[in-house]
Each structure stands twice: as C-alpha cells, then as structure tokens.
Structure 1
Amino acid sequence: MTDDAETIEPLHPHEEEFLRALGRVMSLLPRVVDAEMLAEQEINGNEYMTLVHLSEAPDNQLRMSELASMCGLSLSGMTRVVQRLERQRLVLRVKCPDDGRAWLAVLTGSGWTRLRQAWPSNLASMRRHVFSRLEGCDLEAATVVLERIAPKP
C-alpha cells in the first residue's frame, strides 16, 4: 500500500449509496430498454442508437471510429452492430473518400424508415423507466451534474 492510499478517506455512506444506485441504473436500464425494444421492434439499443447518431450527422454518415465513440463501443463492437444493420439494408459501409483506410457508416432510406418506426417504442420506454420516476426533480440541475461526470464530446 502506498502512502497516498493510506490517506484516502473512505466513502461517506451517502456517497456509497449513490455509487451503488448509479451502478444499478447503468446496469439495469440498458437491459430493460433492450428487452422492450427487441420485443416490440426487433432492434436492440445499440442498433437503435447507431441509427439515431447517423440520422443526426451531416449527410447521415459518420466514420466508424467516431460512431463507435458516440455509442460507447469498441471499433470491433461497432463493426458488428453495423454489419447487422447492413444485412437489414439500414446502413451502408463505404470507404472514406478523404482517407482510404477509414470506413463510413451511412444511413439508408430504409434506415430512416426503421428509425421512425422504432422511435415511439424507445420514447415510451424512456418515459416509463426514467422520466416517470423523476417527477418533481430538477432535470436541468441533474443534467449539469451528470455532464460533470461525462462531459459532452
């Protein structure tokens, strides 16, 4: 044990409770939303968010590495997601014209249609599992706190 480790204060019980609650949310919420999205729309959360990010990007396309970062996935994980979406003709992968080593993911017309179909289910799930439980909370203040932990890119 180093001298620094000996001087670190243990977590206060409220801090410990907060971290455990945050961990439960981070673990449970994606699984619950995934299950609902798969049951209702036959699309999982990573696939849905991939379509969302592409829909918001200029020309509906992003470098695979940038898309992976936005979705919180490794490049290989993002490649698997995009390959599944490609098989459904929702996304295309094309060589980046500026950099022959890089690939772009491009949202197709079918991808737009699929996103519009899935959006109501995702919205209902978010309202049911998140916002219905935050009534009376200051969402703007909560957002500021969360962005201190995970700043916008």
Structure 2
Amino acid sequence: MFSKTNLIATLVTALWGFLGGWLLWGLIGEPMLEDHTLIAGLMRDMPNMVILGIGCLIGGFAFSTIYSKWARGTHNVSHGAQFGIWLALLIGLGGGLIDHATSNLLDLSGTIINAIIYIVFYIIMGILASLVYSKFSGSE
C-alpha cells in the first residue's frame, strides 16, 4: 500500500487531479455547464487551495491503491483506461444521476455533460496510474 510505486502513482494522479480538474472543469467545463446550473453562486470564486490539494492527494492515493489491486499486476494503458471508465461510471454518471434525482445542482443536460467530463478525467487518471505502475512496479 505504501510502496514506492504507489507513492509515485499517488503524486502523479494527485497532480492530474489538481491540474486536470482545473483544465476540464475550470476552463472547458465551466462555460458548458453555466447554463445548466440550477443554483446561482453555487461554486466559490476562489477555491481553498490547501483543502483542494489535500483532497487531490487523498483522491490520488485512493485511486492508485485501488487501481493496483484491480490490475493484479497487469499494468497497461488499456487496463488503466478501463479502470478509469468504471470509476467514472460509478462517480460521474451514477453519482451524477443520483444527485440530479435528489438535488437542484444541475439540469439533466448538465448532469450528462458533467458525466462526460468525469469519463475523460478518470480515463486519463487511469492511464497515468497504469504508466507509473508499468514503469516502476518491477523495481521495488
């Protein structure tokens, strides 16, 4: 769990979580989602960067640890992308539809757009984790 490979994968996926989240949701997603947000002022103008960084580290650690168990020693881009898709379906689409059914965050179109962003985000995260594991898992 605290292997060198997992710690490197944690840092890489946490960095992607931080920068990829900013890219996909901040730059690309925000203009697409603004007309689908049901509550004005829902998002902070400036996030708490310390808490955001801690959240990305925890998310990167959980993602990398679960990926390593799921992959069972077979680390390639395809496995990483598949893992990312499954996680995106769970969190982005499944969780998004539950949120849509129970809250007033996004309309249905916004929920689907957000789920697509999650799919792209987690596919890239899975690929990054698989690349780290394929490169470093034999050197422990």
The answer to whether the superposition gives a TM-score over 0.5 is: no
Q: Structure with the greater relative contact order (CA < 8 A, sep ≥ 6): 1 or 2?
A: 2
TM-score if structure 1 supplies the norm length?
0.33
TM-score if structure 2 supplies the norm length?
0.36
Greater helix proportion: 2
Greater strand proportion: 1
Higher CA-based Rg: 1
